[in-house]
Amino acid sequence: MPQHKLQVEAIAHGTVIDHIPAGMGIRILKFFQLSDQDHPITVGLNLRSKHQGKKDIIKVEDTVFDVTQANQLALFAKDATINVIDNYEVVEKYRVTLPDAIDSVLACPNSNCISNEEPVNTKFHISESASGVVLKCHYCEKSFNQRLFNELN
């Protein structure tokens, strides 16, 4: 049964983002505008996982993220692993780590924040506290729990 292990079609070159918590795959696609580019993308949702119960997986062909880009995924999928694929082989594999800041991806939830109406990229400083991951807006200096961004659409 060769397809026993292979839940999503293999890619020749590109990046596989694995171990995404089930439900976050679509959000990641959307937040990082992965589907706006021209590369073929395969998404697997609610796949069975040994460690997570269910997981999502995203395969982006012909694209390699740099570590800074990949680490931004940690906000939504802190245990995600990045597999760099070349000629069907995994040539590099690492787990994402929480970055110090995230740029340009998220809009500030504070409606009175200047970043929502001026020609600037947003930026959030990231820290971990007892109540979870906290994002502090570079402009309005308001802090938001990371969960808030997961709920926004």
Partner 1 sequence: MTNPLHNKHIISIADLSRDELELIVATAKQLKQSPRPDLLTNKVVASCFFEASTRTRLSFETAVQRLGGTVIGFDSGGNTSLAQKGETLADSVKVISSYTDAFFMRHPKEGAARLASEFSSVPVINGGDGANQHPTQTLLDLFSIYETQGTLEGLNVAFVGDLKYGRTVHSLAQALSLFGCKFYFVSPAALAMPDYLCEELNQAGVNFEVVDDLEAVIPKLDVLYMTRVQKERFDPTEYQHMKANYILTAKMLANAKQNLKVLHPLPRVDEITTDVDATPHAYYFEQAENGVYARQALLALVLSEEFA
Q: Enumerate binding residues for Zn ion (CB under 5 A).
A: 108, 110, 113, 137, 139-140
Copy the structure tokens of residue 37. 């580019």
What is the signed CA dihedral for 40, 46, 47, 51, rounded to 10 degrees?
120
**Looking at 58-66, 73-81, 89-97, 112-120, which segment touches partner 1 (CB under 8 A)?**
112-120
Other residues' Cβ atoms within 10 Å of the Cβ of residue 42: 15
Report how far residue 131's alpha carbon sits from residue 149's, in angstroms, rounded to the nearest whole number: 15
71's contact among Zn ion, partner 1, none, with CB below 5 to 8 A by partner kind, is none
Residue 36 as a binder of partner 1 (CB under 8 A): the answer is no
Residue 117 as a binder of partner 1 (CB under 8 A): the answer is yes
> Computed over its alpha carbons, how large is the radius of gyration of the chain?
17
Is the CB of residue 62 less than 8 Å from the CB of residue 11?
no
Report how far residue 116's alpha carbon sits from residue 109's, in angstroms, rounded to the nearest whole number: 9
Nearer to partner 1, 104 or 129 (CB): 129
**Residue tagged 């082989």 (tokens):** 89
Q: Least distance in Å: CB of 109 to Zn ion? A: 8
Q: Least distance in Å: CB of 115 to Zn ion? A: 5
Residue 115 as a binder of partner 1 (CB under 8 A): the answer is yes
Binding-site positions for Zn(2+) read 108, 113, 137, 140
Footprint on this chain of partner 1 (rule: CB under 8 A): 108, 110, 112-115, 117-120, 129-131, 137-143
